[in-house]
Structure 1
Amino acid sequence: MDATPAPRSGARSRNNPRGQGERLRADIITTATKMLDVLADDQALSMRAVAREVGIAATSVYLHFADRDALVLATLEHCHRDIMRAMEAADAAAADPADALRERTLLLGTWAQEHAGLYKVLYESTLNQRVEMRFKQDFRESCVAAVERCVEAGLASPCDPRAMALDLMAAVHGSVSMRINRCDTPWPPFPDQLDRFLQGLVGLRPGG
């Protein structure tokens, strides 16, 4: 008797050509992304549960990802690429470097609050202790570059751009983390708080 579980109603069979190779890998990552955003804990994610949701055998997931950490890491990298593309679009649409810095930082903070589960896995999970997420360096370096452009344009305080960028990142991540983990506190609107960070830490004028 075939022991392979039947796909859920409406799910694609693993014998469907559209469910093979890179398409199947993309389906798995998309499903894991949704599940992690709900679970907010990488260790609560089950490879079998992901397989059930996609509508394939668990062995098919292991053909693409050696273990749960590999799947979660690939999922977070996928999220990272989406955020970086959105930041690049924000940069391109900005009126000046100060506006670009505000919009890209606002975008990151807003995404984190809208996807609190993914944010917790990305920054607060034990996965951070087991796996080196080198792609997160892109966030840091892109923030440093954005601050540098503000300094060069005379829109920010003439200080060390890297130090200012790290201060800004610490403030933003602290604000986001507290909003997620202490949601009962009446926090001020995030855009208003961000403007105060940009003014006090980077030296931007109010309103960019």
Structure 2
Amino acid sequence: MIKKYQQKFKKAKDEMSKWDDLQSRLISHFRNASSIISRLQIIQNTKNYASLNSVGGMGAAVLQKQMDSLQTILLSMKNTIFKKIFREDFRDVVLSLEKLQHDGKQLAKGSSNQMNKKQLQHRIGVKPTLINCIDGLVLLHEIYHDEYLLKSSLVSALSALALKPNSGDLGALHQLLVDQPNILNEEVNLAKELLLRFTVFLWNDVFMFEV
């Protein structure tokens, strides 16, 4: 039984690592998109082309090239959020965490030799209790789900800014994306610590029930 929980907690750790990789990718896309959006007003001003204005269609061609690049980046960002194309996305991570927390609770309830309250709350030294870790899985799903919804909104807002650029709004969106306000707090860090600590312990000698 405990080994089954260890597998789930290790899986949760892997999912958090996937999230971190996706976060780095999303920030990179965001910065590239922001750079293009910031240049759009300059590109659309014909005065900035000087003698190049004599070249027919120069301004329109440059603008179209930038808009094509922006659309490609925005599509990549949307795919990173919620549409799998040959790789993981944030939605996959959230769904995996949802399944882990659900299975974790069901495993305790549905075992052939069901764990009692004392077993769930048993603690040895600094080791977290099993109920601590189950609650940690629930918490992780909740906060990563909330952050997923925020990221979806940020990507939509960035698309809207392409039509009406504003450097202040771009900066605010970037800060929200980097800060991940739903994840960076003491409760989340504690939940992560509990799961990571639990994966290194074998508790078969602590809980006396059949696997």
The answer, yes or no, to whether TM exceeds 0.5 is no
Comparing both structures, which one devotes a greater share of its residues to helix?
Answer: 2
- Bigger relative contact order, structure 1 or 2 (CA pairs below 8 A, ≥6 apart): 2
Q: What TM-score does the superposition give when structure 1 sets the normalisation length?
A: 0.28
Normalising by structure 2, report the TM-score: 0.28
